Amino acid sequence: MAEFMTWTAHQLTAAVATRQLSAVEVMQATLDQIAAEDPAMNAIVSLRDGDDLLAAARAADGQGPRGPLHGIPIAVKDLANAAGLPTSQGSPLFAGSIAAQSDIMVQRMQDAGAIIIGKTNTPEFGLGSHTFNPVFGATQNALLPGTSAGGSSGGAAVALARHMVCLADGSDMMGSLRNPAGWNGVYGLRPTWGRVPSEPSGDVFMHHLSTGGPMARCPRDIAMLLDVQSGPDPRQPLGLPQEKFADRISVDVKGCRIAWLGDWGGAYPMEAGVHDAAETAVARFAQMGCTVEAVKPPFAAEAIWEAWITLRSFAVAASLGPIYDQPDLRNALKPEATWEVERGLALSGQQIQRASALRSDWYRAAAALFQSYDAFVLPTAQCWPFPIDWHWPRQIADVDMDSYHRWMEVVVPVSLIGLPCLAVPIDGPRPMGLQIAGPRGADLTVLQLGQAWEESRQ
């Protein structure tokens, strides 16, 4: 492996911008690393022809810097469209479908000079935190062979961890930027909802639960990519003003107040060792000069879960309902997708209103918590990476999981109300991470805490 493939993205982009390295050198090293690593990992899918990619790199060298990502190879999560590349979404229904244009987030990366090399693997339609699908198969954990990479941004996390790319995009509805980051020893940021715009299609007023965001091997690189991805879209009413982060994340976090929520007062079953490893890691914040306090759950876990599964099924039914409505296509959906759609179609307006009211109650309770604390912290998952041939864990700590996603309930408090949340890796017997969540709009705060965390590990 070329030594520069281990560099941070901000080091690599600076080297290309100053012509210390050429885009061709970086692209060739990227292709070599993918050839060496990906046959075992299965993280990169729909890889473009190598000669075409080298030609694009030569063109980048001839143009001079176009933007902060000039000449940098990036593979896009296979739920997002990149013009001219397939977007399978992990489903046989869309395998080989070529995107006519790039999604907003992808186009912004391209406008910043990135060269899109292919896609990263994802679960079918992004459902479930385990990256496997009938089109490309399963992605293996980068740190623990034979186990799940998490998901749905599992391919992105593994590609980063195995130095196939230096930056990656992802999306997060239910931990998809956080669990795979924790399970593969990298960083993933779920931005404040509205920070990174979605596509301006269909309804643009209701909270769609999911958001795009960045993944990288350090918080500074996360901030650099967020600077590219973020900013309002005039066609969407709920975006946030443009804000730059990369130059502001290195600060002294002494005095920051951290609320440790652990297993949410016992509401979230955890596999043996997970809570202890996370609690031990949380002590690092005190070493950084933060005030850390274990706090009681600020809201009932069952109320959060009720709101979540209602609004999630409502959203999935809206997106996959047109497929479900066609009997010749319905059988191609995986059982978990069918279950979500059928739940969503059966919901009444009163149930959706109740879920929205519960979400509002939790938002107000979280706002009260943030009057006393700058951030709250939870583990990124309730279990260690499980065997790759499982679909999902059926039990955790002898508690039956009653759905395909109940085992990831620990990420829901953040997702339900669209908080900014950075997943950071921890040291433990097996791969795991912490979620650092702040109040709405406080992306800079969680990035600053993450940067201090990274510096404390060096």
**Domain CATH code at residue 26:** 3.90.1300.10
pLDDT category of residue 111 using cuts at 50, 70 and 90? very high
Residue 86 lies in a domain: yes
Number of domain units in the chain: 1
Of all residues in the chain, what percent carry a pLDDT higher than 70? 100
What pLDDT shows up at residue 94? 97
Distance CA 362, CA 417 (A): 8
pLDDT at 126 over 80: yes
Closest CA to 379 of 329, 328, 435: 435
Q: At what angle do helices 219-229 and 9-17 cross, to 10 degrees?
A: 60
Contact 385, 430 (CB under 8 A): yes
- What was the pLDDT predicted at 14? 97
User: Cα torsion at 237, 436, 142, 272 (round to 10°)?
Assistant: -130
Residue 415 designated active-site: no
pLDDT band at 390 (very low <50, low <70, confident <90, very high): very high
pLDDT-based confidence at residue 114 (cuts at 50, 70, 90): very high
At 65 the pLDDT is 87
- Which residues span the domain enclosing 28? 3-302+351-388+395-457
User: What 3-state DSSP class applies to 293?
Assistant: strand
Residue 244 annotated as catalytic = no
Annotated catalytic residue within 77, 148, 210, 334: 77
Position 339 in a domain? no
Catalytic one of 129, 176, 230, 415: 176
Angle (nearest 5°) at CA 273 between 269 and 279: 85
pLDDT of residue 370: 98
pLDDT of residue 458: 85
End-to-end CA distance of the chain: 22
Dihedral of CA 345/346/348/351: which sign?
A: negative
Alpha carbon 168 to chain centroid distance?
9
Domain-embedded: residue 314: no
Q: Would residue 426 count as lying in a domain?
A: yes
In the residue annotation, 176 being an active-site residue is answered as yes
The answer to the question of residue 325 being in a domain is no
The pTM for the full model equals 0.98
- As a whole-number percent, the residues of the chain with pLDDT over 90 amount to 97
Say how far apart CA 430 and CA 143 lie, in whole Å.
9
Tell me, yes or no, whether 53 lies in a domain: yes
Work out the average pLDDT over 178-190: 98
The answer to whether the Cα torsion of 334, 335, 338, 343 is positive or negative is negative
Asked if the structure places residue 228 within a domain, the reply is yes
pLDDT at 206: 84
Please write the tens of the pLDDT for every residue from 427-455.
999 999 999 999 999 999 999 999 999 99
82 — pLDDT class (breaks 50, 70, 90): very high
Q: What is the pLDDT of residues 206-223, one digit of tens each?
A: 878 999 999 999 999 999
Residues in the chain: 458
The single residue of 91, 152, 171, 210 carrying the catalytic annotation is: 152
Domain assignment of residue 338, yes or no: no
For residue 70, pLDDT beyond 90? yes
The 8 Å CB, 24+ separation contacts for 398-406 are: 398/269, 399/269, 403/309, 403/339, 404/127, 404/128, 404/336, 404/339, 405/127, 405/128, 405/129, 405/174, 405/336
